[in-house]
Structure 1
């Protein structure tokens, strides 16, 4: 029986540092359509954000309705804090200017607007939802796949 002198490779840890948000928290007026939507219908804004963050499950309407229920029971800041944290962790965004829950309790409308702008700035069409964006990305990727040279066949 031959003994193996090979030592197992040690896993390398890659630490990702949080990046800043693409827009500031108080830049709501720089995007008046989403600002007005959030001010008049925060349930719609939240539903659209949750649909993208949860990758379509649950549906935008369900998330918006759940947000409405938490809104009338004064618990919406907790619910939206969960989604801000999910989004921040997924995109490796900095937790600034303060903690997610503190931010949502003190300035929830600004937080929702910032999240909405961030997703839009990352290429999501917020009016399409997760499924529409997924389909759009597949079509775009399908058009840009390079043709492999003949020598690269299996």
Structure 2
């Protein structure tokens, strides 16, 4: 009877997400229809929840109500581009924030979900 010595244990596999592009387009709301409906019908609530998940103050998006160009939506989008290394311009962020607010929040929510990859170890035992 021989015994086998294992020198290397299998390592968890993680998909790399270091693309410099958005993971989905601004109008790809069909990827998550319930989220899109929530953002369309109650954008302030959706924006507050997304902002909280991003790690910022829950009520921050409510400041967008006071201006023509939503400064919080635009700055959140710019911050997300900076954090994830996504190419883009402040001008484009401004246009999307002003003309497609609900779609912008949906895109940011999808991007956070894509970039937040959890590593799950299956059958890990404490010895």
Provide Cα deviations, 1:2-48, integer angstroms capped at 9, x if missing partner.
Answer: xxxxxxxxxxxxxxx96111111111122111101101111222112
Q: C-alpha root-mean-square deviation of aligned residues, in Å?
A: 3.0
Q: TM-score, normalised by structure 1?
A: 0.56
Q: How many residues align?
A: 106
**Rg comparison, structure with higher value:** 1
Residues in 2 aligned to 1:122 and 1:48: alpha-carbon distance in whole angstroms: 17
Higher relative contact order (CA 8 A, sep 6+): 2
1:129 corresponds to: none
Please state if 1:101 is matched with 2:94. Answer: yes
Flag structure 2 segments of 5+ consecutive residues without an equivalent. 1-17
Residues in 1 aligned to 2:32 and 2:110: alpha-carbon distance in whole angstroms: 8
Q: TM-score, normalised by structure 2?
A: 0.67
Are the aligned partners of 1:22 and 1:121 in contact in 2 as well (CA < 8 Å)? yes
Runs of 4+, deviation exceeding 3 Å:
none
Residues in 1 aligned to 2:39 and 2:92: alpha-carbon distance in whole angstroms: 21
2:49 corresponds to: 48
Flag structure 1 segments of 5+ consecutive residues without an equivalent. 1-16, 125-136, 148-154
